[in-house]
Amino acid sequence: MSAALAAQGGVTIRDIARAAGVSAGTISRALKNEPGLTEVTRRMVLNTARDLGYDFCKLRPKRLRRLTFLLHRQHNTAASSPFYSPVLHGAEEACRKQGIVLSFMAVGPADGLVDQLRMHAPDAIVCAGFFEPELLSALRATGKPMVLIDMRLRGYSSVNPDNMMGGYLGTKHLIERGRERVGFICGSLSHYSIRERARGYRQALFEAGILADPRLEAPLPDGVDLEQGAWEAMEALLALPKPPDAVFCYNDSAALVAMRCCLAKGLKVPHDIAIVGFDDISTAVLGHRPLTTLRIDKKALGALGVDLLLGGRTDEVVESIAPVELVVRASTVG
């Protein structure tokens, strides 16, 4: 049937309506992601259109009027907010300039996400930070344009800082300061950003001819908050027969905790141990020693996410990488 329709000049909305057994108006609303339909009906229409070979490029892009910014509940914490709050503000400012209404939701896997999202009735979605692939699949099934920020998954448009380069620059800086045993405090490697920072850390060691020692990589223990986890990770490194003389931490919050732990153990920063963080959050300059870190323009990340949704075709996958900058402070230079 679809081959015959294609030969006649392409599949029309009326063809889809006939095959799906619903009105042409329902087909039109489903294809344009307009409210007023159940997700079951919307999916049925989209599947029928694909089966018939409908050319989705025929659809004129709908003007973006409402955007929902989603943050996973695991990031909606005091430790994560110094990073994600500026990202949200950047998205908010970009929306305001374009006359777009932005709403915010903190969500988890068991929250009935699609039902909640229906109440916001967004034209497009921004997901910030780590999300389970199952959650992203459920969001994609709504048919709404979507961009990931601080997360990368094949087949999805995304905006990320140059995490790998940041891990590389931070570790290289420590090596250039004469440090020989550089530890790494990291969160879960299931997070794209942390995995990339770990890759940069190992690349810098490799280029310097330093054999990577797995004992110097200290992940945060499962089931604890960042404060306790980073403290325990730092204690584990200091308890080694040959403890590190420097530590690269996967973010600033962990680095500030690691610094407090070192000071509590009687170590001098940076004389005995140098510390580098990542993100350049506002509190990075407020510790016992201002923190050397990798600066990310967090507001620009949020704005870039909105720009990706406003520009280009919605069926096109675009992966944007934002630069990072090494900011040297007293935690590595005495």
Q: Please give the average per-residue pLDDT across 55-69, as a whole number.
A: 77
Q: In CATH, what class is 163-296?
A: alpha beta
**pLDDT tens, position by position, 203-214:** 999 999 999 999
Q: Which numeric CATH code is attached to 66-161+299-322?
A: 3.40.50.2300
Question: Both tokens of residue 215?
Answer: 């004992």
> What are the pLDDT digits (tens) for 151-190?
999 999 999 999 999 999 999 999 999 999 999 999 989 8
Cα separation of 62 and 50, whole Å? 20
Please name the fold of domain 13-59. Answer: 434 Repressor (Amino-terminal Domain) (1.10.260)
Side-by-side strand order, sheet with 274-276: 217-219, 182-186, 246-249, 274-276
Q: Where are the domains of the chain?
A: 13-59, 66-161+299-322, 163-296
Lowest mean pLDDT among 78-87, 249-258, 310-319: 310-319
If pLDDT is split at 50, 70 and 90, which confidence band does 237 have?
very high
The mean pLDDT of the chain is 90
Most confident of 40-49, 107-116, 122-131, 313-322: 122-131
pLDDT attached to residue 73: 84
66-161+299-322 against 163-296: fold identical? yes
Q: What is the pLDDT of residue 61?
A: 55
Distance CA 86, CA 302 (A): 8
For the record, the structure tokens of 198 come out as 């770990």
| Predicted model pTM | 0.79
Residue 138 has pLDDT above 90, yes or no: no
> What's residue 6's pLDDT?
47
Q: What whole-number distance in Å separates Cα of residue 36 and Cα of residue 24?
A: 14
pLDDT band with cut points at 50, 70 and 90 for residue 58: low
Q: Tens digits of per-residue pLDDT, 63-111?
A: 789 999 999 888 877 767 889 999 999 999 999 999 999 999 988 776 7
The reported pLDDT for the residue numbered 7 is 45
d(CA 289, CA 305): 34
At which residue do the structure tokens 């889809």 appear?
A: 16
Under a CB-based contact definition with an 8 Å cutoff, are residues 309 and 145 in contact?
yes
If you average pLDDT over residues 238-248, what whole number do you get? Answer: 98
What's the chain's length in residues? 334
pLDDT, tens digit, 9 for 90 and up, residues 301-312: 999 999 999 885
Residue recorded with tokens 């989705």: 56
Cα(181)–Cα(284) distance, rounded to whole angstroms?
23
Handedness of CA 281, 282, 283, 284 (dihedral sign): positive
